[in-house]
Structure 1
């Protein structure tokens, strides 16, 4: 009698472990949990996009060439709108906009760091440093345009890496669709910005993406 009872207990325990794991990952009602890839992606990408918008405003304030001004305008509108969606998801999922988890914790053990060897743990790929932002703020003319393009190409590469990381970890439709849009749109803008740099006799910084 003890063996069947033990088996039943072990089976129940296994089901309980799976249920707890599912709750931690997806939370109530099948929504993502606090430490899920979806929540981490939404939080980190909201912060990532905020810096892109800030850099785009910085270059527009300098009255750059029309093609740079148009690019910056598109970045501001697209990424500000997407950032609003990320924050809206978190509110819908009843999750906080910030967390004690370090940046990129949701990608831990899933390849993060392979393509960004110079990035310290917990740092989102492609982010400009405070010193680089100060330099951009002080630069003028062609120098400002070149620096903006170099920083934004690297920033977009980081966004692509984060979005591709999410695609490996999630099947949630709205998050996956957004990640796919980010990969597509930012990859296209990387090519555009590389062409704009070449017209100015400059080149991008070394790519942070793993060669495909």
Structure 2
């Protein structure tokens, strides 16, 4: 019986290895260190914080314009997170990487976006454009106009970095679905940046975006 269990275990292991190897060697699937894989992983993390901030501000203000914008951002970016998650599953690649964020952009004109290699602190954002833990806490504690202004300032910076990431993907990838996603992100987030800057102007906060 021990031998049977051992052989069964070996068979299961070999089957699992075959499935994984087949997925990794699937024709057309990008390698683990590719710009496509890096973009899908990093943009999921980036989007997840945008969704979080959007949900926070919806609970902290009654302003319909802000709440509508936050809902649109959360809905769109959560959907894109699902798409990028599915890419990695289809490609047979892990959802996370041991490498540092933005490493897939190395050596290109977007190199300034690469996260610094120094040991991160609790106050360090995981990627450029992302809010720190302190900024998120301050947003959670704010309300009304103060919450709106904090959200708009944080999300403008967040979107600006997101646009640069998407532009990097466009310059590095020939994958049609990645390029479609990146093009959509650039167009949508730049439009939202313009809207948020106008919203800040309406609140007398235009100088803070400079």
Q: Does the alignment pair 1:163 with 2:197? A: no
8 A contact 1:56–1:72 mirrored in 2: yes
8 A contact 2:159–2:190 mirrored in 1: yes
Alpha-carbon offset, residue 203 of structure 1: 2.5
CA distance in 2, matches of 1:63, 1:105: 37
8 A contact 2:33–2:104 mirrored in 1: yes
Aligned to 2:29: 31
Please point out which of 145, 149, 152 is paired with 2:148: 145
Which stretch shifts more, 26-35 or 62-71? 26-35
Alpha-carbon offset, residue 46 of structure 1: 0.3
CA distance in 2, matches of 1:157, 1:182: 11
CA distance in 2, matches of 1:72, 1:140: 15
Which stretch shifts more, 120-129 or 148-157? 120-129
1:105-134 CA distance string (max 9 Å, x none): 1001112343x59x6348522111111111
Aligned to 1:198: 201
The 3-state SS of whatever aligns with 2:80 is helix
Where does 1:51-130 land on structure 2 (aligned, <5 Å)? 51-114=49-112, 120-121=116-117, 123-130=126-133
Specify whether residues 176 and 130 from structure 1 end up closer, same or farther in structure 2 by C-alpha distance, changes over 3 A only.
same
Specify whether residues 33 and 27 from structure 1 end up closer, same or farther in structure 2 by C-alpha distance, changes over 3 A only.
farther
Specify whether residues 206 and 141 from structure 1 end up closer, same or farther in structure 2 by C-alpha distance, changes over 3 A only.
closer
**Alignment size in residue pairs:** 180
Stretches of structure 2 that go unaligned for 5 or more consecutive residues are 1-23, 119-125
TM-score scaled to structure 1, two decimals? Answer: 0.80
The 3-state SS of whatever aligns with 1:103 is coil
1:61-83 CA distance string (max 9 Å, x none): 11330000000010110000000
RMSD: 1.9
8 A contact 2:105–2:111 mirrored in 1: no
Alpha-carbon offset, residue 28 of structure 1: 3.0
